[in-house]
Structure 1
Amino acid sequence: MSSVAMIQGVNPIVAMPFTAQGEVDFTSFRRLVAHLSGLGVNGLTLFGIASEFPKLDDGERLQLAEIYLDELSGKRLFRALSITDHSTDLAVRRARLYQSMGADALMLLPPFFLQPSLAAVQAHISAVLEAVTIPVMVQYAPGETGFPVTPHQLAEVAKRYPHAVFKIECNPPVDYTREFLQQAPDAHVLNGYAGLYMLHMLDVGGKGVMPGCSFSEIYVRIYRHWLAGEHQQAVQLHNALLPYIQRWMQHCEYIIQIEKTILQRRGIIADDYCRKPGWQLADEDLKTIDSFISQFNLSV
């Protein structure tokens, strides 16, 4: 199996635990990574949007990357690190660093600060892809970046770079993905967006889902049902999850805080602090979280 083909199934984005004082909680981070690696997920990614990457300094990021790669060394899952720099020069430098540190794959959030031209964004993506040999998951998240790319433009990247993987997060993503795969049938597609469209994306040719990490076992169960051809069971479980994630995905900071609070309620991390600016949960949110944990029988 090629390194690109290994990137499939359930691949959560690792949350970032902080202490109540806002410092990185490395003890909780190690406990979280160990917990996730034992759930049957296919891979993990660090420094995605759900990792609160804009709220980390470079020293913290490097230390976390080292711990993450070391803690998961020898595990039967791929370890990805996200490249989020808006400077092409820095993105290339960081991509090479992460590859040299032993990352199995990268995720690339294209630059959008100050609205670079399409040509500049394309050059950025190409520069990172040409800088490394490991798979690179190119994110398409126009809701978060405000930067639209057509399926044809994305297909051109797929045709040129066989080690590119595509994380498609437009809302909704299904028609876009179908058109993209018609133009680049060999392309490898994943979907994030809390798995809202998980089953539809698998049905049109997607290879996996990249949700948050606080209830990863639910996505693993859905995916295993789907793989086994037990589509009715997959749909039933996904339908039970949908009302929660539809509500929580109203805003990125909302679901980031929800996921963090679920992890804290489950005893996996010590505190649910998110670095500011963030999202303040209401009492009703906390009641919903407790009902959710009880309904799905989530424990450590």
Structure 2
Amino acid sequence: MYSSSQICGVNPIAALPFTAQGEPDYASVDRLLGHLADTGIQGLTLFGIASEFPKLEDSERLRLADQFISTLSGSGIFRALSVTDHSTEVAVKRARDYQKRGADALMLLPPFFLQPDNAAISHHIFSVLEAVEIPVMVQYAPGETGLSITPEKLSEVARRYPHAVFKIECNPPVDYTREFLQRAPKACVLNGYAGLYMPEMLSAGGKGVMPGCSFSEIYVQIYRLWQAGEHDQARALHARLLPWIRRWMTHCEYIIQVEKTILHKRGIIATDYCRHPGWTLTAEDHQSIDTFISTFSL
């Protein structure tokens, strides 16, 4: 069983391939998972925002969860499933079910629909953490959810639950992370948000990054350089990547579609279909993506 201290490195959010008719493409899922397992990542998470989780039926979600766990079995990377339910009772049931199915870790998106108060949010987070033994990555994404949690409040979670991990993706996240780690110095922090602040977050005490999955090799290279003490080289490579991800992260649906299109153009998935409502790329976007793939030799 993984411990929270082992949750580190490059842990992308898996995209979910669909057919041209908008149905789950389970064959492409297998190819994608096999590809990602060979990139050097430390972990992989399914049902994050980049997985288009709000657009899935429950039956699809369960089949994909089982495929994810079984396909990556023996890969050496930790397999995390995200719990996104807004009902505390349902979230607890799903967390237990995912643990039973074989997940190595969970990610937890706190409820934000209809703006629950801080007590209700805390109760939700604590209930899920108390329901399982595996690490739980508590996700803080105020830009996407409209939910704000203070570093002080988040540090209470860290003190009470040693198996909690924290995915911090406010924009910018660095000062927030520093304050949080001052209050909870033993906490494990990962950063999402496409890795826009990856070097700064590693410098601030972060343990890894949770970007999209279509060019994981670049993040792996940055992380390896950083771990080897080659910080200037890591920053230089990140600086090359930054203009691209900064543009694509101007809207979540934009980068979700871009990531799918990159995977399709690389021959990893059969189509770049995203379920509606989504984002329509322009001819300029397609040209830019082609240049990106060529620039980084993907």
Using structure 1 for the length normalisation, give the TM-score: 0.99
**For residue 61 of structure 1, what is the aligned residue in structure 2?**
61
Q: Which amino acid is the alignment partner of residue 60 of structure 1?
A: E
State yes or no: 1:207 paired with 2:207.
yes
**Corresponding position of 1:142:** 142
Deviation at residue 2 of structure 1 after TM alignment? 5.9
2:23 aligned with 1:16: no
Distance in 2 (alpha carbons) for counterparts of 1:2 and 1:125: 20
Amino acid at match of 2:21: Q
**How far apart in 2 are the matches of 1:267 and 1:247?**
24
**Deviation at residue 231 of structure 1 after TM alignment:** 1.1
Kindly tell me the number of residue pairs found equivalent between the two proteins: 298
Q: Which amino acid aligns with 1:296?
A: F
2:106 is matched with 106
In 2, Cα distance between equivalents of 1:29 and 1:213: 12
Q: Which residue of 2 aligns with 1:161?
A: 161
- Given the alignment of the two structures, is residue 282 of structure 1 paired with residue 282 of structure 2, yes or no? yes
Deviation at 1:204, TM superposition (A): 0.6
* Partner of residue 181, structure 1: 181
* 1:4 to 2:4 alignment: yes
Cα deviation, residue 176, structure 1 = 0.2
Alignment-derived partner of residue 250 in structure 1: 250
Partner of 1:106, secondary structure, is strand
Shift of 1:236: 1.0
- Render the CA deviation track for 1:75-101: whole Å, top value 9, x for unaligned: 111000000000000000000000001
Q: Which runs of 5+ in 1 are unaligned?
A: none
Give the counterpart letter for 2:109 in structure 1: L
Structure 2: state its 5+ residue gaps.
Answer: none
One-letter amino acid matched to 1:194: A
Q: Find the aligned partners of 2:266 and 2:6 in 1 and give their Cα distance.
A: 30
Aligned equivalent of 1:34 = 34
Q: What is the deviation of 1:67?
A: 0.5
Deviations 1:34-78 (A, max 9, x none): 000011100000000000000000000000000010001111110
After the TM superposition, list the runs of 4 or more consecutive aligned residues in structure 1 that deviate by more than 6 angstroms: none
> How far does residue 16 in structure 1 lie from its aligned partner after superposition?
0.4
How far has the Cα of 1:233 moved from its partner? 1.1
Residues 86-124 of structure 1, C-alpha deviations (whole Å, 9 max, x = no match):
000000000000000110000000000011111000000
| Length-normalised TM-score, structure 2 | 0.99
Amino acid of the structure 1 residue aligned with 2:246: Q
CA contact 2:2–2:134 (8 Å) conserved in 1: no
Letter in 1 for 2:49: I
Q: Using the alignment, how far apart are the partners of 2:21 and 2:278 within structure 1?
A: 15
